[in-house]
Amino acid sequence: SHLERQQGGIGTRGGPGEAQIELDRRMIEDRIKSVKARLERVKKQRRTQRRARERNETFRVSLVGYTNAGKSTLLKILAEAETTDRGSVTRRRGLRLGYVPQAPVFDDSYTVEQVLEAAASNEHDPAERARRVAVTLGRTGFYDPYEPVGPLSGGWRKRLAIARELVTAPDLLLLDEPTNHLDLEGILWLEQLLGQNAPAFVVISHDRYFLENLTTRTIELDRRHAAGLFECNGKFSDFLEQRDL
């Protein structure tokens, strides 16, 4: 009819109006497929990132237990600072360890730069050694490389002990009560340092907030547990919840 012709053939099989509807339908389907494909790529990327994060977080370990449970002794054995009475420790070939004890010792006649240069002496390339020292001094807050060690406060001596190990580029960092002597600013600095581009680490600390913010696995040494220890993946609060079940 005249009305059907004016309306572009709507209602007429195969008319231009129906062809446009079919074209629109296909365009919508194509867009839906494209969106679904993008969503799937995003999901896959997030799964990959989560798995990588989980692999990395496996080695952010807190070691806890009552006083005299043997935490510091175990850390010293892992660091080869003490030997075990029985059993053995197996390490990956070429593994580089860094160990920060509770009471670090320095030659007080040195400057902070000299302490780090001595620690990095195994690096045979002078340019690379100088670069490591300069970068580590900056990361740990020592902006005067000629500052003498002797007058440093307890908190800054602890920072220097951490710097001394970081400059060696360790694969695994062992930290025994690293927040001791640090003020609030120092603790926040350490949290940021260990949370960003830090090596894998095992840490002993009584600071629950520090452990909650950083670690992703907790091991408790206690003879009351069947194997002498209890371990839990997750935050420190997850460990407390599962241990007390």
pLDDT tens track, the chain, 245 positions: 444 444 444 444 545 578 888 888 888 888 888 888 878 877 776 665 555 555 555 589 999 998 888 899 999 999 989 988 888 888 888 889 999 999 999 999 999 999 999 999 998 899 999 999 999 999 999 999 999 999 999 999 999 999 999 999 999 999 999 999 999 999 999 999 998 877 899 999 999 999 999 999 999 999 888 888 899 999 999 999 988 87
Closest CA to 171 of 201, 192, 130, 194: 201
State the Cα–Cα distance between residues 65 and 4, nearest whole angstrom. 86
pTM of structure: 0.73
Task: Tell how strand 97-100 and strand 172-176 pair up.
Answer: parallel
Using DSSP's 3-state secondary structure scheme, residue 191 falls into helix
Token reading at 148: 């003498």
State the Cα–Cα distance between residues 201 and 217, nearest whole angstrom. 11
Cβ atoms of residues 221 and 65 within 8 Å: yes
What pLDDT does 55 receive? 53
Distance of CA 7 to the CA centre of its chain: 67
What pLDDT does 6 receive? 47
What pLDDT does 145 receive? 96
Q: Helices 126-139 and 112-119, interaxial angle, to 10°?
A: 130
**H-type alpha helices, 7-70:** 16-57
Which amino acid is residue 10, in one-letter code? I
